[in-house]
Structure 1
Amino acid sequence: MVGVLPQTNAQFSLIGQLRTRTEIRHGVGNLPVAGSPAAAFTSQRARLTFGYKWDRITFGMAIQDVRVWGQDASTISNADGNRLMIHEAWADVALINRADTTMKFAPIDYLSLKIGRQEMVYDDSRLIGNLDWLQQARRFDAALLKAQHKGWQLDLGTGFNQNTDAFGVSGTYYTPGNVPTSALSTKSVTLAVPAGFIPTATKGGLPVLTSAVGTNGQNQQFKSFTMIYLAHKFNKTKFSALFFNDNFQKYRVDSIGSATNGYVYGRRYDVAGTNSRITYGAMLTGLIGQSLPIAWQAFAYGQGGRDRDGLQLKKAYHYGASLMFQRGPLSIGPGYEVLSGTNDATINAGQTSRFDPLYGTPHKFWGLMDYFYAGTGSPSGGLKDGYLKVKYTGKRLTTSFDAHYFALANTVYNKLPDAAPSAPLAAKLGMEYDLTATYSLNKFTTVEGGYAIMNGTNTLEYTKQGTMNQKDKVGTWAYLMINIRPDFFAANAPKK
């Protein structure tokens, strides 16, 4: 887009969404306990998105409600609370626009400021995305300065998070969101969790992290961020570069409780300063050929500084490439990517080489069953993913089949008591097979279904859950999703 013509009349949009998803889970995210039954449920998102555009301003707001069927009684009390939230509320104000002759100062083609609660989607959502697969999705409280000039795009973004604006609060200590209000102590007594304290798992009376959970699985928990995104398209090839600096509040290990009631171990976020992480890299995408078009992609990213736990990032990287051969409605192609992890054989204390894929959409890349870089954690040894994708796109029916081979990217030792000293685990994590189909019922309604299988190994069980031979090695998942998105103004518009 090069400039935006001023609007002579205000433009309104009002789009609704009702999305229900019924799932049967037996091993999603982690291998299931041996002999355990499958879980079945239906979740729902209801969303209303309002848009307004006139002259030099664009305004957007999205209100959504997310819940599981039966989660509330048929008549709820005030104590049950609510799940209604503002998913988006932003305004985009044009500051420079060469297409608008009323703006006399126009050194570049276009410049605007987008501020407020908003979704952020860049490139293929690998590192920055709206995570729309989750019913609650993801949004950022941020300000974006967006510039365009002669085909180049430059976005500068920033955000600063705080827990409260209450009187009497000093300093800017920030505790990550979604903090539990209570936790079970070492003596099975439920204790109230004070402000600024996050419980962790306990082992031998000491706090530990059960699995390396990335920032993707912890929602928006940075204290602040700054971002630079640069992109340009050369014929059929697009180049993009990203610089993202996120800062995390420092914490100290602490506990609450007493000898009588037992203790809850955790982290108290009242230490001055932040741990600063830097992610940088570039992506190339393109299309070549005519009789047999080939869509291709290649990317490489690195991370430095310190992670959210204060560990020094040493040679953390993420790279990959893929090809998709297209013949009519059929596409097929291989891909391979690596996310670095910590090598137990060479790493020093206080360091990590684990690449964290920021705030992207892991469900889209590393298997539909969300074993990696989602809220269930991911192996500290990183990930290698070799895959083959097949897709058929018809007028109403779209189907896809993906096969993944997952393996550790770096050496991880078996640290169970009965293991030999410095015994490395086998690299193979497992094979995952994902099959999906989407059918368009009408202009506003689609039906989507899928089935997936994870054929895991003891390495997957150990690196995700800390055990061996206690879980079923095969996980399965099936879902049926109905997505209804009426455009209310379009539905009422007179036919021409």
Structure 2
Amino acid sequence: MIQKSFCAIFLFVLGLGPISLTAQSLEIDADLRARFEYRHGFNNLFPDNADPAAFVNQRSRLNFNYTTEKLQLFIAVQDVSIWGDTRQILAVDGNDSFSLFEAWGQIQMNENWYMKLGRQVLTYDDERIFGGLDWAMQGRFHDAALLKYRKDGFMMDLGGAYSQETDRNDGNDFRIQGFFTYKALQYAYLKKSWEKSSASFLFLNTGFQDFDVNDVADGVSYRHTTGTYFKFPIKIINVTGSLYYQFGKANATTDLAAYQMSLEATYKKNKVLYGLGLELLSGTDQDGAAKNNSFFPLYGTNHKFNGFMDYFYVGNHANTVGLNDFYAKMVFTTGEKSTVLVKGHYFTANAALTGDADAYLGTEMDLVYTQALMKNVNLNVGYSHMFASESMSLIKGGRPHDNTNNWGWIQLIINPNIFKADLGTPSN
């Protein structure tokens, strides 16, 4: 089933036929990764009288990239599954794990302007607001249209999306209510780059379908996110930071006013990179407030931030007390093709916890070893440990804080280019 789908897409790309009287090329890349995980308190405090979880997750992805002088067509198909989730000798994959990850076309209209539309990854800056979420095997995509401008170190993207469940003759209610799944999206992203510095500006407007007490569609609430990301050197120190503000509506009846700010400084000496940083994400008092003051980073690669154990903003921690994350890290170059990351986080609540509880939530330690085994083959090994405080229980459903909370994983990534060809100049 999967092999037939891959072959059908491959033949489709090859059979595009005459598009322009310029040279054509086709590349096919593979991305196969398998990750074993041991979970004993990952994403949430470990409950009493429970057993840890262990499994292997695998992504099998093929990327097809067709280009001519002013046209690019990209298609990515993938299968994401857990080892053992399909019974042996079953004629079909019963878990619907095969999917179309990307399918977009880009047209170059002139020297500086491009148009891109279709299913695509949106990723900018450090991926805090928009990111590809590559850690998750399935990744993150948007069905969107972009107008792009590029010239002399300046770029501008104007994007938009409109979501509907199916074609219909009446009505526009949108009932796919996944985590921050939007009905409509519009954004403007501008960035200027210099030799060693850059600064960007984002304005993002996301609309979410509302329903009344009778479950009838009742308009769209809009959340606005605007801010900047920057990086620049100060002699031998590299500085990066961001500042964002969210306003508009948290839902149909609640106003929103929230902020995010971050600052990180890194310094490399010999074979060690040192880093210090902080991130503040505003929150709403646990005992309630007139406005929602909880910032949420929406469509970013949130696994990169606030500890690898994903206690915050990875499918959780929305509309709650926010977070103050103070961290330090060191990256050791341990060989010609290997590194070790050591990172520690100190977490506190940004808003008040119920009963004036202590704001300190816990400390997390992350270790990640990376080794290039050969060309296009990389090994990653990680271990994380959360030292949770009693206050962590207040934001994690009352689960006990004093059980052991740790997580370990091993991942192998194989991502070769398996086909590359000049298809020549098409004939009329």
Partner residue, 2:259: 317
TM-score, with structure 1 as normaliser: 0.77
Measure how far apart 1:343 and its partner are: 2.4
Partner residue, 2:113: 111
Measure how far apart 1:271 and its partner are: 1.9
Q: Verify the 8 A CA contact 1:226 1:246 in the aligned structure 2.
A: yes
Measure how far apart 1:253 and its partner are: 4.5
Change (3 A) 1:15 1:77: closer
Quick one: distance in 1 between partners of 2:337 and 2:21? 35
Partner residue of 1:435 out of 334, 356, 367: 367
Partner residue, 1:363: 303
Report SS of the residue matched to 1:127.
Answer: coil
Quick one: distance in 1 between partners of 2:212 and 2:91? 38
Partner residue, 1:461: 393
CA RMSD, Structure 1 to Structure 2 (Å)? 2.0
**Matched residue type, 1:482:** L
Partner residue, 1:42: 56
Change (3 A) 1:472 1:376: farther
Q: 1:321-372, CA deviations, whole angstroms, 9 ceiling, x for partnerless residues?
A: 0101111331011101100001256722xx2000011100111011100000
Report SS of the residue matched to 2:110.
Answer: strand
Measure how far apart 1:389 and its partner are: 1.1
Q: Verify the 8 A CA contact 2:211 2:219 in the aligned structure 1.
A: no
Q: Verify the 8 A CA contact 1:89 1:117 in the aligned structure 2.
A: yes
Partner residue of 1:234 out of 181, 189, 194: 194
Q: 1:56-82, CA deviations, whole angstroms, 9 ceiling, x for partnerless residues?
A: 101101000000001110033669252
Quick one: distance in 2 between partners of 1:221 and 1:447? 33
Partner residue, 2:34: 20
Quick one: distance in 1 between partners of 2:252 and 2:360? 28
Q: Verify the 8 A CA contact 2:277 2:327 in the aligned structure 1.
A: yes
Report SS of the residue matched to 2:284.
Answer: coil
Report SS of the residue matched to 2:303.
Answer: helix
Quick one: distance in 2 between partners of 1:77 and 1:33? 39
**Matched residue type, 1:397:** S
- 5+ unaligned residues in a row in structure 1: which ranges? 1-5, 98-109, 179-217, 255-267, 414-422, 492-496
Q: 5 Å matches for 1:180-259?
A: 218=179, 221-253=181-213
Matched, 1:170 2:170: yes
Partner residue, 2:411: 481
Q: 1:246-287, CA deviations, whole angstroms, 9 ceiling, x for partnerless residues?
A: 000002356xxxxxxxxxxxxx3x323100110001111123
Partner residue of 1:284 out of 212, 215, 230: 230
Partner residue of 2:289 out of 347, 363, 375: 347
Partner residue of 2:377 out of 432, 437, 445: 445
Change (3 A) 1:426 1:326: same
Measure how far apart 1:233 and its partner are: 1.4
Q: Verify the 8 A CA contact 2:226 2:246 in the aligned structure 1.
A: yes
Measure how far apart 1:225 and its partner are: 0.5
TM-score, with structure 2 as normaliser: 0.89
Matched, 1:134 2:128: no
Q: Verify the 8 A CA contact 1:300 1:319 in the aligned structure 2.
A: yes
- 5+ unaligned residues in a row in structure 2: which ranges? 1-19, 422-428
Q: Verify the 8 A CA contact 1:276 1:306 in the aligned structure 2.
A: yes
Quick one: distance in 2 between partners of 1:227 and 1:149? 20
**Matched residue type, 2:347:** F
Higher relative CO (Cα under 8 Å, sequence separation at least 6) belongs to 2
Matched, 1:390 2:322: no
Measure how far apart 1:308 and its partner are: 4.2
Quick one: distance in 2 between partners of 1:425 and 1:253? 35
Matched, 1:424 2:356: yes
Change (3 A) 1:72 1:142: same
Q: Verify the 8 A CA contact 2:86 2:95 in the aligned structure 1.
A: no
Measure how far apart 1:165 and its partner are: 1.2
Change (3 A) 1:346 1:172: closer
Measure how far apart 1:379 and its partner are: 7.1
Matched, 1:272 2:232: no
Measure how far apart 1:53 and its partner are: 1.0
**Greater alpha carbon shift after TM alignment, 75-84 vs 423-432:** 75-84
Change (3 A) 1:79 1:361: closer
Between the two proteins, what is the percent identity of the paired residues?
33
Q: Verify the 8 A CA contact 2:191 2:199 in the aligned structure 1.
A: yes
Quick one: distance in 2 between partners of 1:165 and 1:352? 35
Runs of 4+ in 1 over 6 A off after TM superposition: none
Change (3 A) 1:441 1:38: same
Partner residue, 1:121: 123
Partner residue, 1:260: none
Change (3 A) 1:318 1:96: same
Corresponding pairs, count: 401
Quick one: distance in 1 between partners of 2:175 and 2:248? 21
Measure how far apart 1:408 and its partner are: 0.1
Report SS of the residue matched to 2:250.
Answer: coil
Change (3 A) 1:322 1:453: same
Quick one: distance in 1 between partners of 2:218 and 2:65? 41
Partner residue, 2:68: 54
Partner residue, 1:409: 350
Quick one: distance in 2 between partners of 1:287 and 1:7? 46
**Matched residue type, 2:250:** D
Measure how far apart 1:404 and its partner are: 0.2
**Matched residue type, 1:18:** L
Change (3 A) 1:74 1:96: same
Q: Verify the 8 A CA contact 2:47 2:403 in the aligned structure 1.
A: no
**Greater alpha carbon shift after TM alignment, 302-311 vs 385-394:** 302-311
Report SS of the residue matched to 2:344.
Answer: strand
Matched, 1:307 2:250: yes
Quick one: distance in 1 between partners of 2:177 and 2:372? 37
Partner residue, 1:158: 160
Quick one: distance in 2 between partners of 1:7 and 1:286? 44
Report SS of the residue matched to 1:354.
Answer: coil
Change (3 A) 1:176 1:247: same
Partner residue of 1:381 out of 288, 305, 321: 321
Report SS of the residue matched to 1:130.
Answer: coil
**Matched residue type, 2:283:** G
